Amino acid sequence: METHEIERLIRISKEHPLLPETYIPWQDDPLPGDVFLPERLNSLHGLPVYDTLTPGQKLDLGRHETVQVMYSYGWGEQLFCLFVNRYILDIPPHHAEHRFLIREVIEEYRHQEMFTQAIMRLNGDPVKPTRWHRFAGTFTAKYLPPDFMFMTGLSVELVTDKYGYYLRKEPGVYNVLKKVNELHSIEEGRHIHFTKGLLERYTAKAGFFKKTLYSLLVLGNIYFLRSLYIRKEIYQRIGIPDPEKLYRIAYRNYKAKFAENCLGGVVEFVNDFGGFNLLTRPLWKSILGVRF
């Protein structure tokens, strides 16, 4: 990415800051008929069990799953900030790349606080990451090389941006959630543009092996992200019998819905740098449910 483009992104960030304290109408209560999650993103919608739930259980399911997604957003942004603070130590502070990443970290920390406040507004109690999640997330943030970490960060941003699109645009979503995702989308748009430009320095000179590795890295990261969203504890909380069995069914259902609704931007990105080949294409199809 050219320096003048980065300077433009820095200028926009400084001249048009979006503060959750004033941008989000935190005082708004849900209106009658409001939902917390569109059905297309609901893990049980489309299964026979969904039709047996009461309206209150359906609403509560959406509330719990939205809380889980926002918590995962915030946790992932904490890990990315950990990496960025390590990465910029080697970049002179007057360089445009350093200064933009400082702005990005500032915005990411605001997002984390915003998601926390939204979770509190919904009286949420997110299910914490497993020990395996914590180990994998911390290890990657501390030790993966920059190209791998920026690839990882971009894949998460592309998914969350698409997820947020439905929360912003679908009718009947609670207004606080609409505005939270609207603010997030505006600022993440700059982060996505910057990261795509930065990654071109790596993907442009990557050969078959490196492109394959990048593709598998993105695949693994999306699988990791998806496993944070759907948790059997949520079904226990809303009173559904045999949550362990239901979780296995719901996970397969959500895999298909997630691939259909949330992976378009990621698939386009991987395709653009040539990450799909005879090795990676079957894995994307079997593990993530992507249709080619």
pLDDT, position 266: 96
Considering the chain, what percentage of its residues have pLDDT values greater than 90?
Answer: 96
Is the pLDDT assigned to residue 1 strictly greater than 90?
no
pLDDT, position 68: 95
Q: Kindly state the average pLDDT of the residues 36-53.
A: 95
pLDDT, position 209: 96
Q: How far is CA 99 from the centre of its chain?
A: 24
Task: Please give the model's pTM, rounded to 2 decimal places.
Answer: 0.92
Q: Kindly state the average pLDDT of the residues 202-213.
A: 96
Confidence of residue 56 (pLDDT cuts 50, 70, 90): very high
- Out of 34-38, 147-151, 223-227, pick the least confident: 223-227
Q: Kindly state the average pLDDT of the residues 97-111.
A: 96
Q: Kindly state the average pLDDT of the residues 237-249.
A: 92
Q: Kindly state the average pLDDT of the residues 79-103.
A: 95
Confidence of residue 292 (pLDDT cuts 50, 70, 90): confident
pLDDT, position 16: 92
Q: Kindly state the average pLDDT of the residues 123-142.
A: 93
Q: Kindly state the average pLDDT of the residues 127-152.
A: 93
Q: Kindly state the average pLDDT of the residues 146-165.
A: 94
Domains of the chain in sequence order = 3-14+38-288 (1.10.620.20)
Is the pLDDT assigned to residue 278 strictly greater than 90?
yes
Q: Kindly state the average pLDDT of the residues 40-65.
A: 95
